[in-house]
A and B are shown apart, each in its own frame.
Chain A
Amino acid sequence: MKKADKVAYDKDYAAAKKDGKPFFPYAIYKDTIIAGLAILVVIVLAITVRVEMGEPVNPASTDFLPRPDWYFYFAFELLKIFANQNALTPVIMATFMVPNILIILLVIWPFIDRGPERRIWKRPFAMGTAVLVISGLCYLTFLGASTPEGIAKGETLPLTGLDAAASAGEAVYLANGCSSCHMIKGVGAPGPGPELTNEGAKGWDNAKMVQWMKVPVAPMPSFASLPPEDLENLSTFLNGLGTKYK
Chain B
Amino acid sequence: MTTKDIGPKNPVEQGVTQVVDFVDERSGVKNSGRWLMFRNIPAGTSWFQTLGFTAMALFGMQAITGIILAMYYKPDPNTAFGSIAHITNEVTWGWMVRGMHKWGASVMIVIVFLHMGRVFIWGAYKYPRELTWVTGAMLLLMTMFMGLTGYLLVWDQKAYWATVVAVNIFASAPILGPYIGDILRAGPEFGPDTLSRFYSIHMLLIPGGIATFIGLHLYFIIRLGISEPPWAKRALRVQRDEEDARRKAARNREAGLKGSVSFPPAWVDDEQEVKR
Contact = CB atoms under 8 A, between A and B. Distances in A.
B177 to A, nearest CB: 8
Interface string A121-137: 01100110010001000
A23 B34 CA distance: 11
A94 B40 CA distance: 46
A219 interface: yes
Interface stretch (B21-29, B152-160, B210-218, B251-259): B152-160
Interface stretch (B1-9, B95-103, B196-204): B95-103
Interface in A5-29: 5-13, 15-24, 26-28
A30 B50 contact: yes
A51 B81 contact: no
Given A16-B234, A24-B37, A57 B155 contact: yes
B164 interface: yes
Given A51-B88, A67-B162, A219-B165, A109 B125 contact: yes
B137 A59 contact: no
A87 interface: no
A201 interface: no
B179 interface: no
B63 to A, nearest CB: 13
A6 B165 CA distance: 47
A56 B237 contact: no
Interface residues of B, number: 94
Contact of B47 (A34, A58, A120): A34
B219 interface: no
B236 interface: yes
B226 A27 contact: yes
Interface residues of A, number: 90
B77 A57 contact: yes
Contacts of B128: 6, 9-10
A85 to B, nearest CB: 12
Interface of A: 1, 4-13, 15-24, 26-28, 30-31, 33-35, 38-39, 41-43, 45-47, 49-51, 53-59, 61-72, 79, 92, 95-96, 103, 106-107, 109-111, 113-120, 122-123, 126-127, 130, 134, 177, 192, 217-221
20 contacts: A9-B128, A9-B236, A13-B42, A20-B42, A20-B43, A34-B50, A42-B58, A45-B107, A46-B102, A49-B103, A55-B158, A59-B190, A69-B105, A117-B236, A118-B230, A122-B238, A218-B169, A218-B172, A219-B168, A221-B168
